[in-house]
Amino acid sequence: MYYNFRELKGKNLNTWAYVDQAVKDLREQNQETALGMGNGSTVYRVSDIINQFFVQNDLKSIEDVGGNDLKSSFETYFSYGDINKENQYNTFKEQLTQDHENNIDLFADGKVQIVLGYPRMLEEINKRSLSKNFVRAAPFPTNTEKGDKYGISYSYFAINKNAKDTDFAFDLVSYLNQPSVQKEYLSKIPYYLPAQLSLMNERLNDTVKSGYNVKYSSFYNPNVELVSFDTKYQMLYDEQLVPILDNPESYGKAFDSFKRKILCLNKKTAEGTNLETPCEK
């Protein structure tokens, strides 16, 4: 989570209750919108945010999403966009759409004070005009002070069981798993954490991007359990979730249809079953 230090200095943002209090305070004091979320098309990588809500409702996969858990996750998210509630993010939606902009542009302009995302979001923030002195980061809010669960994106290497040279493949993975090689990898491809736990403390103390007072440890909460959320088809999931989040009146049926399509495609490609059934219905 990134926030504007000038506007939120001294604010506790550890839990959703504290975030909601910050939303209320900014609305009452300055008629400002605190949190840059609440719809689909104007929120940067919105699926990452929704997945965090799913994980905090103890959901592990798109297969698990439905009923009250779906309602809780989506309606909490939608509440921050609702123009009749305190955050009112959707008051910006029409203009952002016309200008082909998103919540990060509003963050850079000082019109919203918090945006949610992984450390790599800083690359997008850096393309805008917000002073580096005002940018700070904090862990994703939890439901309670005692901690929660965070969804984390993992990168894997997999060896095809039909590979012609499995010995070479195993040697390559072993090479890439060496601490010295992981350090080199992280220096070339930032915004990731190492697979080697022995490198974790060193990485947490690294600055995410030069010139910013943001370290990887800024996002780290030792009281949470790190878990993954299985979307089955990441690119399709990311793309087709957006219009669902732009239509809060019909999200239930739309998500159920979307979920059936994802699971149908998964059976075809991952399991080799259900091959004759169209997945568009």
| Polymer length in residues for the chain | 281
For residue 161, the model assigns a pLDDT of 84
For residue 211, the model assigns a pLDDT of 94
Nearest 10 degrees: Cα torsion 137, 143, 145, 148: -80
Q: Give the rounded percent of residues in the chain with a pLDDT score beyond 90.
A: 69
Residue 162: CA atoms inside 13 Å, Cβ hemisphere, count?
Answer: 0
pLDDT tens per residue, range 161-190: 888 999 999 999 999 889 899 888 888 877
**One-letter amino acid of 76:** T
CB 156 within 8 A of CB 237: no
Query: Kindly report the CA angle at 245 between 241 and 246, in degrees rounded to 5?
Result: 120
For residue 151, the model assigns a pLDDT of 86
**One-letter amino acid of 37:** M
Residue with tokens 């798993």: 177
For residue 244, the model assigns a pLDDT of 97
Structure tokens at 8: 């939120």
For residue 30, the model assigns a pLDDT of 86
**How would you classify the pairing of strands 112-115 and 149-151?**
unpaired
pLDDT tens per residue, range 207-221: 999 999 999 999 988
CA distance linking residue 136 with residue 102, whole number of Å: 19
CA distance linking residue 113 with residue 126, whole number of Å: 15
Which residues of the chain, if any, have pLDDT below 50? none
Residue ranges and CATH numbers for the domains of the chain are 2-152+206-271 (3.40.190.10), 156-191 (no CATH)
Which among 254, 257, 255, 263 is positioned nearest to 231, based on CA atoms? 263
